[in-house]
């Protein structure tokens, strides 16, 4: 590989790494538990351990005892971007999106801890590469060959992966019979990887850590109505290059950074508000809104042009018997990215989601949650003629046990 080819590859690869996380918003996931996959309006929830994630102040209302929850999600997907009839597609199956949480409750306080995937998750492998130059439709290796040899280079497999994991420790206290407050500390760990040709051309990884608080409020104005609120503060995250190997690593290092090089990319703040209403003894209705704040993050300039993101959801749950309930819901998300600024690795199309599932409690204290959400993305085409299409299922399975 010539020096000119390597130099161009380095420059273009730096551009390609600009936003590859697979989140329901830009970075922030809202699909944080198996409960969400069957009932996507969770911000006012007080019936499950996943309240630690959605309504931490509401954990008080779980009742006295110790509660443990574990879950996982599976994401079958088909993402593509197409220009001039040439389709670049990934169908990589994500099989591990876990979480594990525990809550200890008394009459007036609760304490909780655990971890889960809060952003991104999984890898995207494009066997025929990803468009980098949107005008020509060429991939990074095609462009490198064009510059070095006067004709497009070979199309090589490219794989990107991004994930944010949150570790939580916190507690809530009851101020009165109707009001409770919470404070949580969350340690965030992020990882980004990028490979070209299974790592032979490039094998790159960087990781980052940060810490920020989360505050919450739960208000129950009547026996049938509950209101949940939480605010996750922006997490300042410093990233460090852990690995840069492959035949083009030396040429790419000036752009991507040598091993040990540091950069800044924050995890955005989020504010969420939800209301639930027990319409009858068996029927519960819920709605909520989640707002991701992109106007105060520092991504070293990559945040310019982003709008704030929003997701709204509504859902219901119907208790068929005391130990079995069915649920369904609808969600809408606009991540705040204009199609002109889409990453071909992972575009952020507007979506409409439909969720359904059930809760089963075969014996007292042991609860299973199973759900599936289908996200219907709106196709987008940018001014350069690139069409972005996405198809995604989110399937969740969770188990919870109460020691009373």
Q: For the ranges 9-18, 177-186, 353-362, which has the lowest average pLDDT?
A: 9-18
310 CB-contact burial (10 Å; exposed 0-12 / middle 13-18 / buried 19+): middle
pTM value? 0.92
pLDDT tier for residue 23 given thresholds of 50, 70 and 90: low
CB 330 within 8 A of CB 353: yes
* Sign of torsion over alpha carbons 236, 217, 60, 323: negative
pLDDT tier for residue 17 given thresholds of 50, 70 and 90: very low
pLDDT digits (tens, 9 = 90+) for 217-269: 999 999 999 999 999 999 999 999 999 999 888 877 888 889 999 999 999 99
DSSP for residue 134: T
Phi/psi region, residue 365 (left: phi>0; alpha: psi -120 to 50; beta: rest), is left
> Is residue 20 predicted with pLDDT exceeding 50?
no
pLDDT tier for residue 305 given thresholds of 50, 70 and 90: confident
The pLDDT of residue 24 = 74
Helix (H) or strand (E) holding 190: strand 179-196
Look over the chain and give the mean of its residue pLDDT values, rounded to a whole number: 91
Taking CB atoms within 8 Å and a gap of at least 24, the contacts of 176-181 are 177/220, 178/219, 178/220, 178/221, 179/217, 179/218, 179/219, 179/220, 180/57, 180/58, 180/60, 180/61, 180/217, 180/218, 181/57, 181/215, 181/216, 181/217, 181/218
pLDDT digits (tens, 9 = 90+) for 191-208: 999 999 999 999 999 999
User: 272 vs 114, 230, 269, 295, 320, CA distance in Å?
Assistant: 20, 5, 10, 17, 29
pLDDT digits (tens, 9 = 90+) for 90-102: 999 999 999 999 9
Gap between the Cα atoms of 154 and 172, Å rounded: 57
Q: Give me the DSSP letters along 36-69.
A: HHH----TT--SSTTHHHH-GGGGGGG-SEEEEE
State mean pLDDT over 121-139. Answer: 91
Gap between the Cα atoms of 192 and 77, Å rounded: 20
**Interacting residues of 103 by C-beta distance below 8 A, sequence separation 6+:** 49, 51, 52, 59, 62, 66, 67, 110, 111, 112
Residue 15 tokens, joined: 């551009």
User: Which residues is 263 bridged to in the sheet?
Assistant: 239
């Amino acid at each position: 590989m010539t020096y000119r080819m390597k130099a161009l590859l380095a420059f273009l690869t730096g551009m390609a790494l600009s936003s590859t996380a697979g989140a329901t918003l830009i970075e922030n996931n809202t699909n944080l538990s198996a409960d969400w996959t069957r009932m996507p309006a969770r911000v006012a929830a007080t019936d499950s351990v996943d309240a630690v994630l959605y309504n931490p102040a509401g954990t008080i209302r779980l009742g006295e005892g110790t509660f443990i929850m574990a879950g996982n999600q599976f994401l079958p997907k088909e993402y593509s971007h197409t220009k001039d009839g040439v389709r670049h597609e990934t169908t990589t199956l994500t099989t591990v999106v876990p979480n594990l949480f525990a809550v200890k409750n008394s009459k007036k306080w609760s304490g909780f801890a655990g971890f889960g995937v809060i952003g991104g998750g999984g890898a995207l492998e494009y066997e025929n590469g990803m468009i980098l130059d949107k005008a020509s439709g060429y991939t990074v290796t095609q462009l490198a060959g064009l510059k070095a040899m006067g004709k497009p280079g070979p199309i090589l497999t490219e794989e990107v992966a991004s994930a944010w994991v949150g570790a939580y420790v916190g507690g809530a206290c009851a101020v009165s019979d109707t009001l409770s407050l919470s404070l949580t500390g969350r340690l965030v760990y992020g990882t980004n990887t990028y490979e070209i040709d299974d790592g032979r051309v490039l094998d790159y990884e960087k990781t980052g850590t940060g810490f920020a608080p989360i505050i919450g409020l739960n208000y129950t104005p009547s026996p049938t109505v509950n209101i949940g609120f939480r605010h996750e503060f922006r997490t300042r995250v410093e990233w460090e290059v852990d690995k840069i190997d492959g035949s083009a690593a030396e040429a790419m290092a000036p752009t991507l950074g040598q091993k040990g090089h540091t950069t800044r990319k924050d995890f955005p703040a989020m504010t969420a508000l939800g209301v639930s209403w027990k319409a009858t003894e068996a029927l519960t209705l819920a709605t909520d809104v989640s707002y991701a704040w992109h106007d105060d993050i520092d991504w070293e300039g990559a945040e310019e042009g982003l709008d704030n993101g929003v997701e709204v959801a509504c859902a219901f749950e119907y208790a068929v018997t005391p130990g079995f309930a069915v649920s369904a819901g609808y969600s809408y998300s606009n991540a705040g990215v204009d199609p002109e600024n889409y990453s071909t690795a992972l575009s952020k199309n507007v979506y409409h989601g439909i969720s359904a599932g059930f809760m089963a409690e075969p014996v007292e204290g042991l609860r299973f949650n199973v759900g599936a959400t289908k996200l219907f993305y709106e196709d987008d085409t940018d001014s350069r003629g690139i069409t972005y299409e996405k198809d995604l299922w989110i399937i969740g399975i969770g188990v919870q046990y109460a020691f009373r």
